[in-house]
Amino acid sequence: MKDVTDFFSKISEPEHRTRLEEIFNWTKENYPQLSVVIKWNQPMFTDHETFIIAYSAAKKHISVAPETVAITTFKEAIEQAHYQHTDNLFKITWDQPVDFSLLKKIIDYNIQEKIHYTKFWRE
């Protein structure tokens, strides 16, 4: 995968592509300091070359991957938003509303917690 356009072009359902683009664009507009890199065939948002958050499309949902520490920290809020989660990501079904205030808290948390971090992932 070469770039973000290539990533979005692979999402066959137009409504799904539009929803994921909305989240992606919201992130870019609210966090212009973040860079977008393509790793493991998906776009990821980074700050000073360290991972902050990634979004991807699945058949039944959008996957939001902010790393395990963020899932653990925001587990209760994720569950209150009625999102299913694993240790590494949470799922927003295509018909669920996006809780942008939750995304903001998670992104802000990762940026602050990793402000002096020099590696891509937490160890």
- CA dist., res. 9 & res. 106, Å (int): 27
Could you tell me if residue 21 is inside a domain?
yes
Strands 35-39 and 90-93: unpaired
Could you tell me if residue 123 is inside a domain?
no
Q: Flag whether pLDDT at 21 surpasses 60.
A: yes
Could you tell me if residue 86 is inside a domain?
yes
Per-residue pLDDT, 6: 81
Could you tell me if residue 72 is inside a domain?
yes
Q: Flag whether pLDDT at 90 surpasses 90.
A: yes
How many domains, the chain?
A: 1
**Average pLDDT, integer, range 103-119:** 96
Per-residue pLDDT, 89: 96
pTM flag (> 0.85): yes
Could you tell me if residue 120 is inside a domain?
no
Could you tell me if residue 118 is inside a domain?
no
Could you tell me if residue 105 is inside a domain?
yes
Per-residue pLDDT, 55: 96
CATH code: domain of residue 32: 3.90.1150.200
Please give the sequence-ordered ranges of beta strands (E in DSSP) within the chain, or none if there are none: 35-39, 42-47, 50-57, 61-65, 84-85, 90-93
Average pLDDT, the chain: 93
Full residue range of the structural domain in which residue 80 is found = 4-113
Could you tell me if residue 119 is inside a domain?
no
